[in-house]
Amino acid sequence: MKTCLVVDDSKVIRKVARHILETLDFEVREAGDGREALDSCLAEAPDVILLDWNMPVMSGMDFLRALKDSGIARRPKVVFCTTENGMAYIRAAIEAGADEYVMKPFDRETLESKLQIVGVA
């Protein structure tokens, strides 16, 4: 079973994502901000991370940079998952090392499609 770490400060979004991911046969872990997510990754790297942009403590972009600098052995795939839907944001996220990008609101098909594209579904 593949593991997915859902990083979002909204409990509701985490719950929705968890529900969809579980129907896609993922084992789901959650983190409420980038800092928690980093700790979770260093403890045990998931296969893929769904990453929100704006979060307290540590944003998605800061998390991406920190993940890069952490020297983690097996780097998880990162799917940005955010309400930011302008090309400038998308470009910035991809340049910072994200593998895919999901614009919220998303549904099961969108998420499944993007997870397939990064090769984990």
Stretch that binds another protein, among 19-27, 31-39, 47-55, 109-117 (CB under 8 A): 109-117
Nearer to another protein, 6 or 93 (CB): 93
Residue partners of 48: CB distance under 8 A and separation at least 6: 2, 3, 4, 5, 76, 77, 78, 79, 115, 118, 120
Per the structure block, which two tokens stand in for 89? 């944001």
- Residue 53 near another protein by CB under 8 A: no
Residue 54 within binding range of another protein, rule CB under 8 A: no
Binding interface with another protein (CB under 8 A): 85-87, 90-91, 94, 100-103, 106-107, 109-110, 113-114, 117
